[in-house]
């Protein structure tokens, strides 16, 4: 799983976690702000400069709108991003998939396999009855929700088919391990048989816990198929109008029953039908549902007898806390902006005079007057007394009050206006001149503001007053 708990605001959904990534889309686990329900967001990748990508996206949406079955993942709606030009398909969130459930460590029992297979073929029949080929059937595309209901998902490669459609289809579909032999041989006039072949591969995989034909490339995949199902006859090549370029160098006899002899005997008949080399012999999903496999003891179990799905984790508890934090942060930001706007509207207009001398001449300094009982450990106890500015050396809150005063490192201005040379104190360090400021007239006034931490306060003898020195 990629991604983290980053929150990104959409039209009405908040990103929480990326849970999947495919060739054409990314899938995110999300929280609906309106209903509080967990949903899945599928971010469709498309390029506006490429008409084909927009065509694929529109076709997937049209197919999902046509399907409505308990064993087919339903499209809830669409979401758009305010920050990105993207479209997100919104689905019910599914906890896991069949590829995770069917593992060699915890093999499924025969009743469990029959239950999953019956749900899958029911959903597949609905797709085929609506004139839709899935063309990417595999374990990771058969999702399972928290109620243990199986649903067919990911119609990114799906397409319409039917006798009225004469346009050739591409053979570059279906994951390699579940790809029918006619697709590997370049057939472009196929039908429901390509999905049924994938269904046969999945049936054997649910019993064994591993894929039965994991080829590394198309040539190896074809040889694995021929070794398991036998060498096609001459009629096969002539009927399907396929090229004989990939004809195997030697003949193989069918070995499916021997290879899968550890599987329940009732499943072998359905497997031989679904994994027939000739797609016409594979039948249909409705015929597969009537196979003896589903009426032979032991029968399919109920949903309650299927493997327990991991209970809802606590990551959405954390996500809710993050949402609350983000909302409070937004509220604080809005409050700050409102206060700043109000203070700006009440504040006087900024100086428009560019001359430093004019600013210095018009500046009205505020005077810092220390108290007699000021403790040396206190930080900044001060009061403003403009009326005594004549008798005291001012501590300018405005940065322009002391710009032209060149103070000696050892000479300080007393509060009473006199000057006294302090010999026992070391000189205060001077601030480093800014090398970039070659022309002093081009300085910006906001560069002269300093915090109180840059001004050093010293307390001398009892008869002496507070000495202030501002760095050059």
Residue 201 · residue 211 · CB < 8 Å: yes
Residues 6+ apart with CB under 8 A from 97: 139, 140, 141, 142, 143, 144
Catalytic residue among 68, 92, 97, 136: 136
Residue 16 · residue 3 · CB < 8 Å: no
Cα 303 to Cα 145, 252, 306, 354, distances in angstroms: 11, 41, 5, 80
3-class state of residue 96 by DSSP: strand
Residue 159 · residue 179 · CB < 8 Å: no
Q: Is 42 labeled as ligand-binding?
A: yes
Q: Residue 309 and residue 396: Cα distance in Å, rounded? A: 71
97 is known as an active-site residue: no
Q: Tally Cβ neighbours within 10 Å of residue 69.
A: 17
Instruction: Choose among 92, 212, 87, 103: nearest CA to 156.
Output: 87
Q: Are strands 467-469 and 159-160 parallel, antiparallel or unpaired?
A: unpaired
In degrees, rounded to 5, the angle at the alpha carbon of residue 179 between the alpha carbons of residues 157 and 89 is: 20
Q: Residue 439 and residue 241: Cα distance in Å, rounded? A: 85
Per the annotation, binding residues for ATP are: 42
Q: Which residues are catalytic?
A: 136
**Binding site: which residues?**
42
């Amino acid at each position: 799983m990629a991604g983290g708990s980053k929150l990104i605001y959409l039209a009405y959904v908040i990103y929480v976690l990326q849970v999947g990534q495919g060739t054409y889309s990314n899938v995110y686990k999300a929280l609906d702000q309106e209903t509080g329900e967990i949903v899945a967001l599928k971010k469709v990748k498309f390029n506006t400069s490429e008409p084909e990508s927009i065509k694929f996206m529109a076709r997937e949406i049209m197919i999902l709108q046509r399907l409505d079955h308990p064993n087919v993942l339903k499209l809830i709606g669409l979401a758009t991003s305010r920050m990105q030009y993207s479209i997100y398909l919104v689905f019910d969130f599914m906890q896991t998939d069949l590829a995770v459930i069917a593992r060699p460590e915890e093999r499924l029992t025969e009743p469990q396999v029959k239950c999953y297979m019956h749900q899958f073929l029911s959903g597949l029949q609905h797709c085929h009855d609506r004139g839709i080929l899935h063309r990417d059937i595999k374990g990771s595309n058969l999702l399972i929700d928290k109620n243990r209901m199986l649903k067919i998902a990911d119609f990114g490669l799906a397409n319409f088919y039917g006798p009225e459609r004469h346009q050739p289809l591409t053979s570059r579909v279906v994951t390699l391990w579940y790809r029918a032999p006619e697709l590997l041989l370049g057939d472009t006039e196929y039908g429901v048989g390509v999905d049924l072949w994938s269904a046969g591969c999945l049936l054997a995989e649910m019993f064994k816990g591993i894929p039965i034909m994991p080829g590394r490339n198309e040539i190896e995949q074809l040889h694995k198929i021929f070794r398991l199902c036998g060498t096609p006859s001459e009629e096969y090549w002539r009927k399907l109008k396929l090229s004989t370029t990939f004809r195997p160098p030697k003949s193989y006899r069918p070995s499916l029953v021997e290879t899968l002899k550890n599987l329940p005997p009732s499943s072998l008949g359905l497997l031989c039908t679904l994994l027939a080399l000739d797609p016409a012999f594979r039948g249909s999903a409705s015929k597969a549902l009537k196979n003896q496999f589903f009426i032979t003891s032991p029968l399919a179990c109920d949903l309650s007898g299927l493997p327990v799905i991991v209970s809802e984790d606590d990551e959405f508890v954390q996500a809710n806390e993050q949402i609350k934090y983000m909302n409070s942060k937004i509220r604080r930001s809005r409050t700050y902006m409102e206060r700043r706007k109000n203070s700006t509207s009440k504040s006087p207009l900024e100086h428009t005079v560019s001359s430093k001398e004019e600013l210095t001449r018009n500046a009205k300094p505020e005077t810092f007057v220390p108290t007699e009982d000021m403790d040396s450990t206190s930080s900044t106890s001060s009061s403003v007394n403009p009326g005594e500015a004549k008798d005291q050396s001012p501590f300018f809150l405005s940065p322009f009050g002391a710009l032209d005063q060149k103070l000696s490192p050892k000479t300080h201005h007393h509060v009473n206006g006199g000057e006294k040379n302090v010999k026992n104190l070391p000189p205060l360090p001077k601030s480093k001149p800014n090398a970039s400021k070659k022309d002093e007239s081009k300085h910006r006034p906001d560069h002269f503001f300093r915090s109180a931490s840059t001004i050093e306060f010293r307390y001398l003898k009892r008869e002496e007053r507070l000495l202030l020195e501002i760095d050059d």
